[in-house]
Amino acid sequence: MENWKALALHYGTAERPRADLSLEHVDEHDALGRIDYFVWLIRHAGRLFLIDTGFSPEEGEIRGRTMLINPIEALGLLGINTADVTDVIVTHLHYDHAGNLSTFPCATFHLQDEEMAYGTGRCMCHERMRRPFAAEAVIDAVRLVFAGKVQFHKGDVVLEPGLSLHLIGGHSRGLQVVRLEEDGQVIVFASDALHFMSYLRESDVFPLFADYPDVVEGYEKLKRLAGPRGRIVPGHDPLVLSDFPTLRNDPPFAYFLC
């Protein structure tokens, strides 16, 4: 399994009221639900891509999330130095996807135009809209722009043959997902375009979004990107921990996708 091409790194978890995790199927007496936090690694075409950078320890503590392992430490346990990461794909600028941006000195950062405009524009004047953003993470992203390290994209783009980014929006206006096609396998890293696989079956939605129609229409785009035999990896689903084998067990944080 050391010949991995794609990994899910499980770095955090939380128990939340079901009303925080479901828009459609909530009972006021319902039990707590679980949400897990991941970043993803891809080795492709001689480059090392990190999809998202997780939340910082400080932000996790502020928001009551449990950090199981610092994402930077997790990389180190895999023998990966932050300087080894050639590309960081920021699916969107929410706190749990864009913390730790300043720790990758050699990377090019891939971000959608719409996400930067959203995270730094007038919508952030509204508390509900800015709630999932951390100001420090957004400021770090701006600093990277001024350092010439951000490659902006406007919609879908191919980064390398077999690896592409696709704008979906919805949960955040510039949310992008990642499609990997390798050795006949297709994996779509959905990030927050699909928090839990059950949403596809139940037509459910995470109850925090910038545009509801874009969220539900995004489910169909995910299916098209995956195709009939491809696999969609949801962004926060505990089932990832049982659906994919562990790469290592000390501690069990790395899950082998392909």
Query: What pLDDT shows up at residue 29?
Result: 56
Superfamily of domain 6-21+31-256 in CATH is Ribonuclease Z/Hydroxyacylglutathione hydrolase-like (3.60.15.10)
**pLDDT below 70 — which residues of the chain?**
1, 25-30, 249
Whether the upstream peptide bond of residue 228 has omega within 30° of 0, thus cis, is no
> What are the structure tokens assigned to 78, written together?
């895999």
* DSSP designation for 133: B
pLDDT of residue 193: 98
pLDDT at residue 31, rounded to an integer: 74
Cβ atoms < 10 Å from Cβ of 153: 20
Write down the pTM of the prediction.
Answer: 0.97
Q: Name residues whose C-beta falls within 8 Å of residue 237's C-beta, 6 or more positions apart in sequence.
A: 36, 195, 196, 197, 198
The whole-number pLDDT of residue 24 equals: 82
Concatenate the DSSP letters of all residues of 209-228 into one string: -S-HHHHHHHHHHHHHHHTT
C-beta contacts of 180-183 below 8 A and 24+ residues apart: 180/5, 180/6, 180/42, 180/44, 180/258, 182/5, 182/6, 182/44, 182/258, 183/5, 183/258
Place of tokens 């069990």: 252
